[in-house]
Amino acid sequence: SKKLVLEHICKNFDSLIAVNDVNLVVEPGEFLCLLGPSGCGKTTLLRIITGFEQASSGTLSYNGKVINKVIPQKRDFGIVFQSYALFPNMTVKQNMAFGLNMRKMPQKLIDERVNEILKLVGLTDWQNHYPAQLSGGQQQRVALGRAIAIKPKVLLLDEPLSALDAKIRVRLRTVIKRLQQDLGITMIYVTHDQEEALSIADRVAVMKDGQVRQIGSPWEIYKAPKTSFVAQFVGTSNFISATKKNGKIQFGQREFVVSGLTDAAGETLHLAIRPEKIEFVAPPISPEQYVTSNIVEVVAEVITFLGAVVRITFLLEGKEMDVDLPEKEFEKIGLQRGEKLTLYFPPDAFHVYTEL
Ligand code: ADP
Ligand code: MG
């Protein structure tokens, strides 16, 4: 089958290791996101896949054939960059037809294909305009259309939406996702935006320092981050560094019961808990509850309205933390800044790490 397979791919620029032993299997028709902070090697990895860059070592294969030495033009992979890289002297339609003209496709077929793509990317009414007459979002639609017009085997996108406004970014995300589903194209999409990756991908490969640190569905990555880096980078997490004592966690003056602790005592652990996992507890609360059952009383320092949820920032043992309450629940409570609230940290809501 038409898998793209990366085995032990490495790339160094002199002494700098940009990509460090990456192994990936991208399934046909899959939408894979490479997610990671700036400088972690995403673009370099994408350039190796396109053939614009040669791996220092490792094997790249497509459909069972090693393609390390195949020139970019022969790989039939489409590419979309952050900067649209359109031909300024060509209309929208001509830009989209460019790759097809290069492949000497008959004019009638080109017209048919371009009309189809114009519809798919929503630019039929703009086909005779020049790039300079279009908005950024429209220009990126042209770039997308031009890339998919040649029916690439794999479409590679390097931060295609990062130059656009938030609203347009979200709208184009949907356009890209729908294209991928309708056309069944394999897509590899690079982004440093975790929210974008989670919302668009079938699978996310989280990268750091040239390595893939975790790969899985957005759901898996969010629910079960394997390292503290992933917990920190994907979504929001509160972190507590604490020592283990008597099977519990000692955090300042407080003790927490945490599920799945190992036996080693005295060890320093790093616990992560998502803001939406912390629960509001309605009064009255007995004094015993505070000591024994992961219940704390805190003061709402900052209240941030985020739409569907309200984020309340509080201090626990001098550490700033967030709890997210559904907007409806928050309204019922009627909390003001500076007021006290009681929170419950469920033992099984913590992710436990030995390294930060
Ligand atoms: P990302 O796309 O994740 O931001 P890059 O792949 O662009 O990361 O870069 C990874 C590392 O490789 C960075 O430290 C970058 O400075 C370095 N790098 C990338 N391209 C080159 C190059 N042509 N020459 C030297 N160093 C490079
Ligand atoms: Mg990059």
Whole-number Å distance between alpha carbons of 129 and 131: 7
- In DSSP terms, 239 is beta-bridged to 272
Closest ligand 1 atom to Cα of 46? 6
Question: What is the per-residue pLDDT for 267?
Answer: 81
Q: Name residues contacting ligand 1 (CB within 6 A).
A: 13, 16, 18, 36, 38-44
Three-state secondary structure call for residue 1: coil
One DSSP character per residue, 133-157 reads GS-HHHHHHHHHHHHHHT--SEEEE
Q: Is 103 helix (H, G, I), strand (E, B) or coil?
A: coil
The one-letter amino acid code at 277 reads K
Token code pair at residue 115: 């009309």
Sheet holding 279-280, edge to edge: 279-280, 340-344, 295-299
Q: How far apart are CA 217 and CA 173, in angstroms?
A: 17
CA of 60 relative to ligand 1 center, distance in Å: 19
pLDDT along the chain (356 residues), means of 10: 95 97 97 98 97 97 96 92 91 96 94 96 96 95 94 95 93 94 95 96 98 98 96 95 86 87 77 96 80 86 96 95 96 94 95 90
Atom of ligand 1 nearest to the CA of 19: 10
Ligand 2 centroid – CA 158 distance (Å): 7
CA of 37 to the centre of ligand 2 (A): 9
Q: Which ligand is nearest to the CA of 83?
A: 2
Rounded-to-integer distance, Cα 88 and Cα 10, Å: 37
pLDDT of residue 30: 97
Mutate to test the pocket of ligand 1, among 10, 16, 206, 212 (most ligand atoms within 8 A of CB): 16
pLDDT of residue 289: 73
Residue ID of nearest Cα to ligand 1 atom 18: 18
Question: In 3-state terms, what secondary structure has residue 20?
Answer: strand
How close is the Cα of 44 to the center of ligand 2, in Å? 7
Atom of ligand 1 nearest to the CA of 210: 10
DSSP string across 177-244 = HHHHHHHT-EEEEEES-HHHHHHH-SEEEEEETTEEEEEE-HHHHHH--SSHHHHHHSS--EEEEEEE
Whether the complex's predicted ipTM is more than 0.90 is answered with yes
Ligand 1 centre distance from Cα of residue 18 (Å): 6
